[in-house]
Amino acid sequence: MHKAGLILHQGLDAVVAAAQPGITTAHLDQVFRTVLADHGATSNFLGYHGFPATICASVNEEVVHGIPGERVLQNGDIISIDAGAVVDGWHSDSARTVLVGTPDPANVRLSTITEEAMWAGIAAFAKAKHVGEIGNAIEDYVRAQPGEPLGILEDYVGHGIGSAMHQAPDVFNYRSGMRGPRIKAGMVLAIEPMLVRGDIATKTLDDDWTVVTLDGSYASQWEHSVARHKEGIWVITSPDGGAANLARYGVTPVPIPQN
C-alpha cells in the first residue's frame, strides 16, 4: 500500500502542475495515466462500477465523481482531483483541490480549511480509540473557523482501504453521534472531508456520476490514505508520512516497519 501511495502522490503532483487555464480535464486524466503506467501501477478508478477514467475531476459546483472530458479549465476555477493506484493488489486513494490561475480568495479559504480539516482528522486518527473521533475532530475544526460558515457534506464519507479501494468502516466527516468501530493496529483509512460554501444538499447529474451542489455553491475535497500501526500512524500517500502537516498537532508519524 505504501508503494501504491507514493506513486499516487507522484501522479497527483503531475496533475496539479498540469492544471492550468486552457487545459482540458481529459488531459489531466492522460497525465495521471502516464504516471501510473511509468511506475507499473494500475488504476482502481478506471472501470470501477463502469467509471471511464483514472481520476475524478470535479470543477466548481461539482463536489465529487466528475468525469474528465472536453471541459476546458478557466482562470479562477476550483477543481478537486481524486485518484487512486494499485500495486500488487494493494490500493491507495487521495485527493487534492487545485485553484486554477488567479483564484477567488473565498475559494482559497474553502480549500485551505478543507485541507486543514483533513489534517485535523488525520491527527485525531493517531490518538483516537474509535473511528467516530475522526469526524468529531473534522467538524470541530471547521466550526471553529471565523467568517463565512462552510458546509460539511454528509452524502459521501471516508472509508477503510486495503485489498480493495472501499472497505469498512465508514469514516464520517462530521459528528455522527456514533462512536464507530474500535481502532486497531493494521487499520488503514481514507480520510476525505468535502466542504461547500453553501448548502450541503447534492444531486447526481444525468451522466450517473457527477455530484453537484443543488444551490451551485463551490466545493473542495482533500483526502489521504493513512495507516495506523503498532508504533503510530503513517500517511501512505505523502512522502514524509504527513510529518510537516502533523507537527502542529504534536503528532510525529512513524514509518511502517518493513519485513
Residues that bind Mg ion (CB under 5 A): 82, 93, 95, 190, 192, 223
Please say which residue, 92 or 255, places its beta carbon nearer to Mg ion.
92
Closer residue to Mg ion, CB minimum distance, 95 or 137: 95
Name the minimum Å distance from CB 227 to Mg ion. 15
d(CA 23, CA 18) in angstroms, rounded, equals 8
Closest approach of Mg ion to the CB of residue 121, in Å: 13
CB of 158 to Mg ion, least distance (A): 6
Q: How far apart are CA 23 and CA 121, in angstroms?
A: 33
Closer residue to Mg ion in complex, CB, 158/241: 158
CA distances to 11, 65, 106, 153 from 33, in Å: 8, 17, 32, 29
Q: Is the Cβ of residue 43 or residue 217 nearer to Mg ion in the bound state? A: 43
Q: Which three cell numbers stand for residue 112?
A: 485551505
- Shortest distance in whole angstroms from residue 102 CB to Mg ion: 27
Distance CA 194, CA 90 (A): 25
109, burial (CB in 10 Å: exposed 0-12, middle 13-18, buried 19+): middle
